[in-house]
């Protein structure tokens, strides 16, 4: 294997982080195809199992959402086939049209949210950025970080909560100003 060919391995923690990050957009995508939330829940559950089983097919984290949507689409279509036995539904062509429209809107909204996050995160002080990232980048528990900073765990959680709230408010304001939802 050459140096340029690196194997991307998705461990359980990384998979769960990606899945949780993309779950809202995946649920919205499934809802654009399926007529009710109960079926969305079933499709999501079945899809998550398949995603976990086929995680070695994923080449990098940036490809997770499109890859997951393909798996989810097949599970949604399977749910629709079950429904067709009970009652008439939309044609596959109509489903494809509706889901592609939703996917375009979803990608735009996702890009707007991502840009807003990046801009707002950049506005935080370096210390606040490091504090928010520490549990993820240093792989330390909040308790360990609190010990390193000579703070109580509770005070560190409160500080992180205030910073996250500030970040959330900033993102919301940018999305509102940009006309996104």
Taking 60 as the threshold, does the pLDDT of residue 4 lie above it? no
Angle 80-90-25 from CA coordinates, rounded to 5°: 65
- Alpha-carbon distances of 76 from 33, 38, 70, 80, 127, rounded to whole Å: 7, 12, 10, 6, 44
Given this model, what pLDDT does residue 95 score?
66
Q: What is the pLDDT of residues 44-64, one digit of tens each?
A: 999 999 999 998 888 888 889
Taking 70 as the threshold, does the pLDDT of residue 114 lie above it? yes
Contact partners, residue 77, CB within 8 Å, separation at least 6 = 33, 92, 95
Given this model, what pLDDT does residue 88 score?
53
68 within 8 A of 22, measured Cβ to Cβ: yes
Statement: the pTM of the whole predicted model exceeds 0.85:
no
For 116-129, what is the mean pLDDT?
A: 89
Angle 36-37-39 from CA coordinates, rounded to 5°: 75
| Domains along the sequence of the chain with CATH | 1-89 (1.10.1740.10), 109-181 (1.10.10)
Q: What is the pLDDT of residues 67-83, one digit of tens each?
A: 999 999 999 999 888 87
Other CB atoms within a 10 A radius of the CB of residue 12 amount to: 9
Given this model, what pLDDT does residue 27 score?
92
**Helical axes 153-178 vs 92-123, angle rounded to 10°:** 120
- In the block, residue with structure tokens 């939330």: 37
Q: What is the pLDDT of residues 7-43, one digit of tens each?
A: 456 788 888 888 999 999 999 999 888 888 889 999 9
Give the model's confidence band at 101: pLDDT under 50 very low, under 70 low, under 90 confident, else very high.
low
């Amino acid at each position: 294997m050459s140096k340029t060919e690196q194997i991307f391995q998705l461990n359980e923690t990384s998979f769960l982080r990606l899945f949780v990050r993309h779950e809202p957009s995946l649920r919205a995508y499934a809802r654009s195809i399926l007529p009710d939330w109960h079926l969305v829940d079933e499709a999501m559950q079945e899809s998550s199992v398949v995603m976990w089983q086929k995680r070695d097919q994923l080449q990098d984290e940036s490809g997770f959402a499109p890859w997951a949507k393909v798996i989810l689409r097949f599970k949604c279509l399977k749910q629709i086939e079950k429904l067709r036995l009970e009652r008439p539904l939309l044609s596959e062509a109509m489903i494809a049209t509706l889901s592609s429209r939703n996917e375009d809107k979803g990608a735009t909204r996702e890009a707007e949210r991502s840009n807003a996050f990046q801009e707002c995160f950049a506005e935080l002080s370096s210390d606040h950025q490091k504090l928010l990232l520490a549990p993820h980048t240093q792989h330390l528990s909040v308790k360990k970080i609190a010990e390193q900073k000579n703070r109580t765990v509770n005070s560190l959680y409160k500080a992180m909560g205030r910073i996250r709230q500030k970040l959330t408010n900033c993102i919301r304001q940018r999305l509102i100003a940009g006309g996104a939802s």
